[in-house]
Structure 1
Amino acid sequence: MRIARFSIDGNVAFGAVEGSTAPGAEGELVLDIIKGIPFADFELSGTKVPLNKVRLLPPVLPNKVVAIGRNYAEHAAELGNSVFDDQGRPEAPITFFKPSTSVVGPGDPIAYPSFSHDLHHEAELAVVIGRMCREVPKERVKDVILGYTCANDVTARDVQQREKQWARAKGFDSSCPLGPWIETDLDPSDLTIQCTVNGEQRQLGRTSDMVRSIEDLIVHITEAMTLLPGDVILTGTPAGVGPLNVGDEVAVTIEGIGTLTNKVIKRG
């Protein structure tokens, strides 16, 4: 099931996306409005609205976004880093936060921060948590996942390099586009991830190239903290990250999910 969060006539609701999501078919999609919220038992109301008559919102409003750095070896290498120790074993995941205020939805603008001159795109698979959990064993990870969506871990690269920690570089307003919806029926182990800027391909990778699996990441994160329904985990980006400029349109496409598109604007 594909679950979208949307606004219509000033009201916010969740709905199940019905119809073909193939390119060019978006106008045929409809939303069957959900009774309740997707983090508990819910029913479809049978009341349907065309997708092109609503405004899609971020599919969730997370309490926190927990992000993983350097989870693709080629991306780490392009930034001059390694993800393995001297024996070739994966090092501990690099974990950081993006605040809830960084989250925007499909079609929302990415505001170029005034304190940066080198903004980069980072296409990522995002995991949406469906229930409160901590200390999750590997064999129970699937039980705590609601589904998956597209993400763009927009990064002020010059600030990241200059400040040595990533709070401002990756946590500024609009630095975490999510969407267009949550796909609940998906095997995330080997999906294509693509990023284009103004239609030109910049990133192309597969989730099978992750250094650490989604199961390992959730085990690692929940050893330290409780995850709440709607929390989001960003799983890292493949190689090919590069600059964004004001006026650019950046699109993240993940096989089996869809496309998340945003435009870069000058911060007012």
Structure 2
Amino acid sequence: MKLVQFYDRQDEARKLQVGVLKGEDEVVALNVKGTMRDAIEAGDVEALAQGAAYRLSDVKLLSPLTDPEKIVCIGLNYHDHVIESNMQVPKVPVLFPKYNNCLTGHEDEVAIPVEVTQCDYEAELAVVIGKTAKRVPLESAMDYVFGYTVLNDVSARDIQLNEPQWTRGKAIDGFAPTGPWIVTADEIADPGKLGISLKLNGATMQDSNTKELIFDVPYLVSFLSNTMTLRPGDIISTGTPPGVGMGKKPQVWLKPGDVVEATVEGIGTLRNTFVSERIR
């Protein structure tokens, strides 16, 4: 099942709705009071009553989650990416946060702040938590996964790598495009065997597989739950494979007009255009 947040393009109020994608061109609204997080927390999303149907072209897709309690990102989690970053293989997961201000949706524009000259892309598999998780054993960790989506961990390298911690260079407004939808866990047989890639203006920049993860999905869920309670709708973004702009020779930085397409096998393609920040 593919779940979306959207609004009807004919609705001047742009009321947020939760829906399910039927086939490739129909979105059916679900009877949800609130957001996707509320639907996940309520339990059986599949049993929710269905309402109005829309053509996909008649709706604006939003980030499939707009109000998670936590967005936990994992750094340096692909072996080859550690090498291209000139770092040591971590002994425990490297963590940093993003926040709700970072979230934006499929086909949305991402503004590059005037302070940023080294804007980079990072295609990632993102895990959506389905139920409250605290001290979850490794063997049952997957029971707490609701589904998966695609996240582009956009990064301002000139800020990130010149300060003692990464948050200010990672948690910039709009720097976590997410979507286009959530694919429920029952449709992904093994999140550790998914192709992951990214194109910049049509040219392939990243091309790998989640089998190269240093810390896999069950480990991350269990590890994080030992010290922080994971809640329904929380996002764990599992890290990016090699091929980021920082690692290219010469380095490649995003500029206004660039189109970035991040793809994870079995989920879909998240597309965004980068623009200059408009200062009022």
TM-score, length of structure 2 as denominator length: 0.88
Give runs of aligned pairs for residues 210-225 of structure 1, distance below 5 A.
210-225=213-228
Letter aligned with residue 17 of structure 1: L
CA contact (8 A) 1:73 1:82 kept: no
2:249 alignment counterpart: none
Structure 2 Cα separation of the partners of residues 38 and 32 of structure 1: 17
Give the deviation of 1:164 after TM superposition: 2.8
Give the deviation of 1:38 after TM superposition: 3.7
Runs of 5+ unmatched residues, structure 2: 33-38, 246-252
Aligned with residue 28 of structure 2, among 27, 32, 56: 32
Structure 2 Cα separation of the partners of residues 94 and 197 of structure 1: 26
CA contact (8 A) 1:196 1:203 kept: yes
2:128 alignment counterpart: 128
Structure 1 Cα separation of the partners of residues 18 and 274 of structure 2: 27
1:18 alignment counterpart: 22
CA contact (8 A) 2:31 2:51 kept: no
Larger mean Cα displacement after TM superposition, 130-139 or 47-56: 130-139
Runs of 5+ unmatched residues, structure 1: 21-28, 85-90
1:201 paired with 2:197, answer: no
Q: Secondary structure at the match of 1:252?
A: strand
Larger mean Cα displacement after TM superposition, 222-231 or 252-261: 222-231
Aligned with residue 63 of structure 1, among 58, 69, 73: 69
Letter aligned with residue 252 of structure 1: A
TM-score, length of structure 1 as denominator length: 0.91
- Number of residue pairs aligned between Structure 1 and Structure 2: 254
CA contact (8 A) 1:106 1:179 kept: yes
Structure 1 Cα separation of the partners of residues 172 and 134 of structure 2: 27
CA contact (8 A) 1:32 1:44 kept: no
Give the deviation of 1:114 after TM superposition: 2.1
Letter aligned with residue 77 of structure 1: I
Structure 2 Cα separation of the partners of residues 155 and 45 of structure 1: 38
Work out the percentage of aligned pairs sharing the same amino acid. Answer: 39
1:253 alignment counterpart: 263
Give runs of aligned pairs for residues 219-238 of structure 1, distance below 5 A.
219-238=222-241
Give the deviation of 1:139 after TM superposition: 2.0
Give runs of aligned pairs for residues 120-199 of structure 1, distance below 5 A.
120-184=120-184, 185-186=187-188, 187-199=190-202
CA contact (8 A) 2:102 2:176 kept: yes
CA contact (8 A) 2:3 2:181 kept: yes
Structure 1 Cα separation of the partners of residues 168 and 159 of structure 2: 7
Give runs of aligned pairs for residues 97-116 of structure 1, distance below 5 A.
97-116=97-116
Letter aligned with residue 197 of structure 1: L
Q: Structure 1: which 4+ aligned runs deviate by more than 4 Å? A: none
Give the deviation of 1:253 after TM superposition: 0.8
CA RMSD in angstroms comes to: 1.2
Structure 1 Cα separation of the partners of residues 29 and 89 of structure 2: 44
CA contact (8 A) 1:103 1:175 kept: yes
Structure 1 Cα separation of the partners of residues 272 and 263 of structure 2: 12
